Structure 1
């Protein structure tokens, strides 16, 4: 069987609205952007790891072995979405399988990344993503969403609902070509811990991440 080409993309903006400069902000002893890049490198499974950014200043933060791919400044607009960013990137860097990584998820482990990539490589799944399991009493529009309010079950007996976390998305080239999205029709859902699910978007998230860093003795 031919070896599949696996390529990682990490889209980066250096100017952020909710937490200015978050991607290059120091988290412990290294910038936020380096956490997930280091773990992608550690998997040893990727043909290339690419930071997709309009500003070459990001290069000073990239570990050895990570490529800089310049993108149009139009993709930095607040209205830019995944489809626009990935479509532009995929025209420049071809692959059989893509790993879409977010710098804002510093605690996603190498093991989780490997598990997601292997799930798609196996051919049993067309995509993989990370998620937090929610098993609680949920309401929507004033009505119970996942339980009978007249016969309330134990919380552990509720049917789990999964919430996407940023982490990593792994998907075949065909998934995007066919559905124009990063999750296909037969995804592998990787349940992650509370720590792995941390996604940094605002100052409070950053404070949480600092509190979760290993304590040096």
Structure 2
């Protein structure tokens, strides 16, 4: 069987709005951007890891093994949709499977990414994504989503819902080229824990991530 080529890419713009310069803010010993690249580089079946950014300044904030691909500055626009960014990258770098990740998920572990990728490589999944399992009472459009009001189950018996996180989306090239989708028709849902699911978009998110980082670092020090 021919080996499938796997490329991971992280799109980054430095002019973020909600949290200015978010991607290069300090988190522990490194910039926020460092951590997702460090995890991706540790995944054995990924052939290349790219940063897709219009500003070479980002290279100072990520591991040296990461390949830099300069993107057009118009892709940094606030109204540009993700699909347009992904298409631009895919047109520049060929692969069988793409892994789209984001710097805003600094606690995503390499073995979590590896588990999902192995499902795509060894089974017939056409995509995979990181999700958080919530087994609780959920509502959508002012109606219960996963239970009946006149038949309230025990929490442990309720049907869980799965929330997408920004950790990663994996997809085969033909899924994006044919349908312009990052999730195909048979996706594998890779569950992540509460720490891995942390997504940094606001100042409050960032301050919370700093606290989590210090706790994780302290726990690792105690265990060693």
Structure 2 length as normaliser, TM-score? 0.93
The separation in 2 between residues aligned to 1:195 and 1:105, in whole angstroms, is 9
Alignment of 1:31-110 (within 5 A): 31-110=31-110
* Map of 1:176 onto structure 2: 176
4+ runs of 1 displaced by more than 3 Å? none
The separation in 2 between residues aligned to 1:141 and 1:176, in whole angstroms, is 30
Gaps of 5+ in 1: none
Q: CA deviation at 1:211?
A: 1.3
Question: Which stretch of the first structure deviates more once superposed, 200-209 or 56-65?
Answer: 56-65
Q: CA deviation at 1:76?
A: 0.6
Q: CA deviation at 1:139?
A: 2.2
The separation in 2 between residues aligned to 1:116 and 1:81, in whole angstroms, is 25
Do the aligned partners of residues 149 and 25 (structure 1) sit closer, same or farther apart at CA in structure 2, a change above 3 Å counting?
A: same
Deviations 1:100-146 (Å, cap 9, x if unpaired)?
01010001101011011111111321111000111111223332222
Q: Note if contact 2:30-2:61 (Cα within 8 Å) is conserved in structure 1.
A: no
Residues paired across the two proteins, number = 217
Aligned Cα root-mean-square deviation (Å): 1.2
Structure 1 length as normaliser, TM-score? 0.96
Q: Note if contact 2:23-2:103 (Cα within 8 Å) is conserved in structure 1.
A: yes
The separation in 2 between residues aligned to 1:210 and 1:60, in whole angstroms, is 21
* Map of 1:150 onto structure 2: 150
The separation in 2 between residues aligned to 1:70 and 1:81, in whole angstroms, is 18
Question: Which stretch of the first structure deviates more once superposed, 188-197 or 53-62?
Answer: 53-62
For 1:132, what is the secondary structure of its paired residue? strand
The separation in 1 between residues aligned to 2:148 and 2:118, in whole angstroms, is 39
The separation in 1 between residues aligned to 2:172 and 2:205, in whole angstroms, is 31
Q: Note if contact 2:8-2:49 (Cα within 8 Å) is conserved in structure 1.
A: yes
The separation in 2 between residues aligned to 1:179 and 1:122, in whole angstroms, is 23
The separation in 1 between residues aligned to 2:124 and 2:37, in whole angstroms, is 27
